Amino acid sequence: MTETTTILEPHSLDGKVALVTGSSRGIGADTIRYFAAAGASVVINYRNKAPRAEKLAAELREDGAQALVVGADLTDPLEVGGMFGQVEQLYRKLDILVLNASGGMEGGMAEDYALQLNRDAQVRVLGAALPLMAPGSRVVFVTSHQAHFIRTTPTMPEYEAVALSKRAGEDALRKLIPGLTERGIEFVVVSGDMIEGTITATLLERANPGAISQRREDAGRLYNVSEFAAEVARAAVEPVPADHTRLVGDTSSFGEE
């Protein structure tokens, strides 16, 4: 067991089932590791990184965890339905849903792909998960300060379309909070600054050389993947703030929401 898997209390998630979208690598993968180390049975979701997902599952199983690997394009309703069909068949329930998958800077995608994935798919995935979620369950939506504060603080042009689509997704999910509350399901947004080592940071740096180092200088420091994943994992178990928002890292460069 690596040091990065000791964020949550051992056995604190015994008997729980956690699904993290986009969890074959990066923040999603480390979040899955933290959940499994705390005793949860986990669901690893990927779009096109099957070998990485299977490697992660094998690693977790060696440590005694139960892990289900499910490939699903979250913009495809049939694939989303199939994913939760597998979750129901194996686990019969879902206690933690982390909406981590996002995108929009990839090449070769449809013009509205960012909105399809970052807004429409987020709502679709939550809707498909709800039949498996009992009172006491938790939904976590992962976003960035650049998206969360996009209405008041401009971001770099290369990221603007993604930021707007992620904020649209956050807004759409927040509208569902009253209905979730009625069902006894908690909801929290985790917003962080640019994260060192993520695909998004790499693509931004490629499109705008020096962007990440400039942001690091402005913020004082940037979280790395495992540090931010730890905050996402904690958000799944710690009390939900009154405004359903957990801000990670410096926000002094951003205006009020």
For residue 111, the model assigns a pLDDT of: 76
- C-alpha 68/C-alpha 66 separation (Å) is 7
CA dihedral sign of residues 119, 111, 215, 32: positive
Decide if 181 contacts 229 (C-beta within 8 A): no
Residue-wise pLDDT tens digits, 173-224: 999 999 999 999 999 999 998 777 676 667 667 777 876 777 777 766 778 8
CATH superfamily of 3-194+225-248: NAD(P)-binding Rossmann-like Domain (3.40.50.720)
What is the pTM assigned to this prediction?
0.92
Residue 103 CA to its chain's centroid (Å): 11
Q: What proportion of the chain, given as a percentage, has pLDDT over 90?
A: 72
Q: What are the structural domain ranges in the chain?
A: 3-194+225-248
The string of pLDDT tens digits covering residues 36-63 is 999 999 999 999 889 999 999 999 999 9
Mean per-residue pLDDT for 12-26? 97
